[in-house]
């Protein structure tokens, strides 16, 4: 009985009694959620265009951040380093398409998935061989002051990160709907063969998609890296982005955003109000269970394409 009260009653009372604290938790969750969305976006872009479940997205975040920090350590100014890292990600996309994707065209999605796990190992080793494996600080001049707004403590950094994330998403949305390349990308996502038959070069499109998601990885890497230092654990946020992904639907950009926000808030609220009851540190699996239960009712995720099966 006591346990039931503790689960179903006390947390809600607490929420009601301390609304500012609750608001703080929710806002913090939303801000973390934006960061998850950033990582999930990269997944969605690639999955949409090529039906490859790119497990290496997390390590691409790490790799991009490592390149940026490494270049900045040479004394290159930040904005040039960002451009250079972006160039590195584009080259990486080219190499991946050439060496890995092209020979694996038309293989089973499982196989491509495994290949991206292999790529994960490779990039991890490669990045750390190039730039070393100790924790690096990434300082690109975003202020990290904490300020108070109507009794709610907010971190300036998180807000800026959220704004950048929003701008990025907005930019991608325009890129996808208004530009010719974006239209071609959507055509490829819809139907490979139809796209090919009207003369859209599939290989170029893949390079573009991988480059764009390399760019998204760079932004995510900058944000996470500035927040918690550039180190190996950065690549583990990919594991945090996966439930976001399936919650939102593998093929939907808006799904990645909304999913990220839901997971961010859910995770924080659960950790703070229910976590202590069962020993804490539930952040690691809560998102997965949430996503799984959700999928039981809606197997294609929030905004995923309706799954139609024919015999």
Note whether 110 binds other proteins by CB under 8 A: yes
- Select the residue interacting with other proteins from 60, 220, 291, 302 (CB under 8 A): 291
Q: Is 9 one of the binding residues for other proteins (CB under 8 A)?
A: no
Q: Which of 179/284 has CB closer to other proteins?
A: 284
Among 20, 133, 179, 204, binds other proteins (CB under 8 A): 133
Counting contacts by CB under 8 A, is residue 135 touching other proteins? no
Cβ(109)–Cβ(51) under 8 Å? Answer: yes
Among 7, 80, 174, 289, binds other proteins (CB under 8 A): 289
CA atoms of 21 and 106, how far apart (whole Å): 52
Site for other proteins contains 301 (CB under 8 A): yes
DSSP states along 20-73: HHHHHHHHHHHHHHHHHHHHHHHHHHHHHHH----TTHHHHHHHHHHHHHHHHH
User: Hey, which residues does 154 pair with through a beta bridge?
Assistant: 147
| Alpha carbon of residue 164 to chain centroid | 14
Task: Rule CB under 8 A: choose which of 115, 172, 234, 262 binds other proteins.
Answer: 115
**Identity of the residue, 66 or 265, whose beta carbon is nearer to other proteins in the bound complex:** 66
Tell whether residue 225 is a contact of other proteins (CB under 8 A): no
Where does 202-298 have alpha helices with state H? 202-228, 237-248, 253-269, 283-297
> Distance between the two ends of the chain, CA-based, in angstroms?
51
Q: Is 108 in the site for other proteins (CB under 8 A)?
A: yes
**Cα dist from 116 to 30, 86, 96, 104, 166, whole Å:** 30, 20, 10, 11, 28
Please report how close the Cβ of residue 37 comes to other proteins at its closest, in angstroms: 16
* 13 three-state secondary structure: helix
Closest CA to 29 of 201, 264, 193: 264
Q: Which is nearer to other proteins, 56 or 195 (CB)?
A: 56
Under rule CB under 8 A, residue 276 binds other proteins: no
109 binds other proteins (CB under 8 A): yes
Question: Which residues are bridge partners to 146 per DSSP?
Answer: 155
Structure tokens at 76: 């290159």
Question: Applying CB under 8 A, does 171 fall inside the site for other proteins?
Answer: no
15, 23, 76, 104: residue in contact with other proteins (rule CB under 8 A): 104
Site for other proteins in 27-56 (CB under 8 A): 53
Q: Backbone phi, then psi, for 153, in 5-degree steps? A: -80, 130
Q: Which is nearer to other proteins, 4 or 293 (CB)?
A: 293
Residues near other proteins (CB under 8 A) are 53, 99-100, 103-104, 107-111, 113-115, 117-126, 128-129, 133, 239, 242-243, 245-246, 250, 278-282, 284-285, 288-289, 291-292, 295-296, 299-301, 307, 309-311
């Amino acid at each position: 009985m006591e346990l039931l009260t503790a689960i179903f009653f006390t947390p809600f009372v607490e929420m009601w009694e301390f609304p500012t604290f609750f608001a703080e938790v929710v806002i913090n969750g939303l801000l973390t959620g934006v960061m998850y969305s950033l990582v999930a976006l990269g997944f969605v872009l690639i999955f949409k265009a090529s039906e490859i479940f790119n497990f290496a997205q997390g390590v691409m975040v790490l790799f991009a951040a490592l390149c940026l920090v490494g270049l900045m350590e040479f004394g290159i100014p930040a904005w040039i380093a960002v451009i250079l890292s972006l160039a590195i990600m584009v080259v990486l996309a080219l190499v991946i398409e050439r060496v890995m994707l092209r020979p694996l065209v038309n293989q089973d999605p499982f196989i491509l998935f495994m290949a991206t796990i292999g790529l994960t190992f490779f990039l991890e080793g490669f990045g750390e061989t190039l730039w070393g494996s100790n924790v690096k600080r990434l300082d690109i001049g975003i202020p990290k002051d904490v300020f108070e707004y109507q009794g709610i403590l907010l971190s300036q950094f998180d807000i800026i990160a959220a704004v950048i994330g929003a701008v990025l998403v907005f930019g991608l949305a325009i890129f996808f709907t208004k530009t010719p390349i974006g239209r071609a990308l959507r055509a490829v996502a819809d139907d490979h063969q139809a796209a090919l038959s009207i003369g859209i070069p599939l290989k170029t499109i893949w390079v573009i998609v991988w480059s764009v998601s390399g760019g998204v990885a760079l932004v995510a890497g900058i944000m996470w890296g500035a927040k918690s230092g550039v180190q190996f654990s950065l690549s583990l946020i990919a594991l945090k982005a996966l439930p976001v992904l399936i919650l939102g639907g593998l093929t939907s950009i808006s799904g990645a955003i909304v999913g990220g926000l839901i997971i961010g808030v859910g995770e924080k609220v659960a950790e703070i109000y229910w976590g202590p009851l069962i020993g804490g540190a539930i952040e690691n699996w809560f998102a997965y269970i949430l996503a799984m239960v959700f999928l039981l009712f809606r197997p294609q995720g929030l905004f995923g394409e309706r799954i139609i099966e024919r015999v």
